[in-house]
Amino acid sequence: MPAVPVQKVSNGMKLVFNDDVWTIVEFAHRKPGKGGAFVRIRMKSLTTGRVHEANFQASERVEEANVSYQRMSYLYQDGTDYVFMNASTYDQIPIDQDLLGEKTQFLTENLEVSVVFWDDRIVAAELPAKVELRVVQTDTVDRGNTATNVMKDATLETGYVAQVPLFVNTGDIVVIDTRDGAYEARL
């Protein structure tokens, strides 16, 4: 992709920096009393999720990243690979467990995810913000323990153990936030 002047950056723009692809979270043009103008950019890595701040001189150019997104459905796990299918072309693509990281604990069959490609290389998979999962095991609780916001462990169909309120029982379907693994609601 072509290099663009740093003054033309915007939030959400993808750029290449230190051999990685980043999305701009925040930017600010600065003109201090002494010295030249600069642009401070706060960006988040699409591959690692790490946040980084960098200053660029106003005359510098940054390389815009060639990033594309494809909607794919999760099919099954094959060893350390998770296989996804493009619904329009029926292409099946394995994605290594290391690339998905903690997100694997929320994958259920046919869950649609957005796979991120950078120069025809898979760099990330973005899950929906919330998923619905069935509770397969949870402890029963004694009545009357409702004075405070008491939580208990519940094992979900993917093997993930979430903290849920006392009224959630085995067999219930709960909504889990995939960004932090927190319980949201019972359906």
Bridge partner residues of 186 (DSSP): 174
Residue 35 has pLDDT above 90, yes or no: no
Longest dimension (CA), the chain: 68
Q: Is the pLDDT of residue 148 over 70?
A: no
Q: Provide mean pLDDT across the span 53-81.
A: 90
Asked if pLDDT for residue 143 goes beyond 70, the answer is no
Average predicted confidence (pLDDT) for the chain? 88
Is the predicted pLDDT of residue 136 greater than 90, yes or no?
A: yes
Give the pLDDT band (50/70/90) at residue 156.
Answer: very high
Instruction: Report, as an integer, the average pLDDT of 54-75.
Output: 91
- pLDDT category at 84 given cuts 50, 70, 90 is very high
The answer to whether the CB of 152 falls within 8 A of the CB of 163 is yes
Q: DSSP characters for 39-83?
A: EEEEEEETTT--EEEEEEETT-EEEEP-EEEEEEEEEEEETTEEE
Kindly list the structural domains of the chain, giving each domain's residue range(s) and its CATH number in brackets, ordered by start. 3-64 (2.30.30.30), 67-126 (2.40.50.140), 130-186 (2.40.50.140)
Q: What is the pLDDT of residues 108-123, one digit of tens each?
A: 999 999 998 988 888 8
What is the pLDDT, as a whole number, of residue 144? 61
Verdict on whether the full-model pTM lies above 0.85: no
Across 142-152, average pLDDT: 69
DSSP secondary structure, 111-144, as one string:
-EEEEEEETTEEEEEE--SEEEEEEEEE----TT
**Mean pLDDT, range 3-7, rounded to an integer:** 87
Report residue 57 as tokens. 């001189």
Which whole number is the average pLDDT over 6-28? 89
Q: Please give the pLDDT value at position 176.
A: 93
Write 93-98 long-range contacts (CB < 8 A, 24+): 93/122, 95/122, 95/125
Please answer whether residues 64 and 4 qualify as being in contact, where contact means their C-beta atoms are separated by less than 8 angstroms.
yes
What pLDDT shows up at residue 25? 92
